[in-house]
Amino acid sequence: GNSVTQMEGPVTLSEEAFLTINCTYTATGYPSLFWYVQYPGEGLQLLLKATKADDKGSNKGFEATYRKETTSFHLEKGSVQVSDSAVYFCALSRLGNYGQNFVFGPGTRLSVLP
Amino acid sequence: SQTIHQWPATLVQPVGSPLSLECTVEGTSNPNLYWYRQAAGRGLQLLFYSVGIGQISSEVPQNLSASRPQDRQFILSSKKLLLSDSGFYLCVCDRGAHGYTFGSGTRLTVV
């Protein structure tokens, strides 16, 4: 079946440190891949996405590249800020019986210290 | 703009008690709505899907049910909660070409 695996954390970094959150997936066909972020007290928000192999999604300094050969979609940021503290979810979407359905990873909690 | 209101944010309920989680959507008509659950250490799992009033599809068999009494209202229920119903419940709205909008979630603890 379809599944998403990501490092569960928590991850604690100092401000301006480099961030990598690993994500790998198992899927039939060619899913789209996403990173969602949940800030404290808020709902999930789309951070970035990639719809085909070798696509790079980017937003707010975050990047992730769709690697079909390694079935990965690792999230990176060169210099994190305190405001990046949140829970990050890797996800894929697959075409189900009634449209696109999501499969999410367990989420990775990131804490950035000043 | 479109928003989703989901409540309550946290809930502690005894085993065997009933459950009602409500989700309402603003800023759109005839949305496709979903209920997802994240159990401890697992990813979000699709529970129910609704394409309109009174139309509910279930992805997995479980102790829960869902209803769509109004176009913008989606309710998750249970007559008798089990310990295994504990988790994080998320209401999601499909905006078609505009992507998805997510509620803030409800953390349910069954004791």
How many angstroms separate the CA atoms of A19 and B47, rounded?
33
> What are the DSSP calls for A39-98, one per residue?
-TTS-EEEEEEE-STT-EEEETTEEEE-BTTTTB--EEESS--GGG-EEEEEEEEEEETT
Q: Does A58 score more than 60 pLDDT?
A: yes
- Count the neighbouring beta carbons within 10 Å of the beta carbon of residue A96: 14
pLDDT of B98? 60
Chosen from A35, A36, A104 to mutate, greatest number of chain B CBs within 10 A: A104
* B4, B49, B102 member nearest A98 (Cβ): B49
CA distance to partner chain B, nearest, from residue A44 (Å)? 5
Do residues B33 and B74 lie in contact, with contact meaning Cβ atoms separated by under 8 Å? yes
Which residues of chain B are within 8 Å of residue A105 when distances are taken between CB atoms? 43
In chain B, the residue whose alpha carbon lies closest to the alpha carbon of A88 is B43
C-beta atoms of A102 and B38 within 8 A: no
Q: Does A18 score more than 80 pLDDT?
A: yes
A68-81 mean pLDDT:
96
pLDDT in tens, B5-53: 888 888 999 999 999 999 999 888 888 898 988 766 555 677 898 988 9
Do residues B94 and A99 lie in contact, with contact meaning Cβ atoms separated by under 8 Å? yes
Least confident range of A63-72, A87-96, B3-12, B27-36: A87-96
For chain B, give the longest Cα–Cα distance: 41
- Count the neighbouring beta carbons within 10 Å of the beta carbon of residue A98: 16
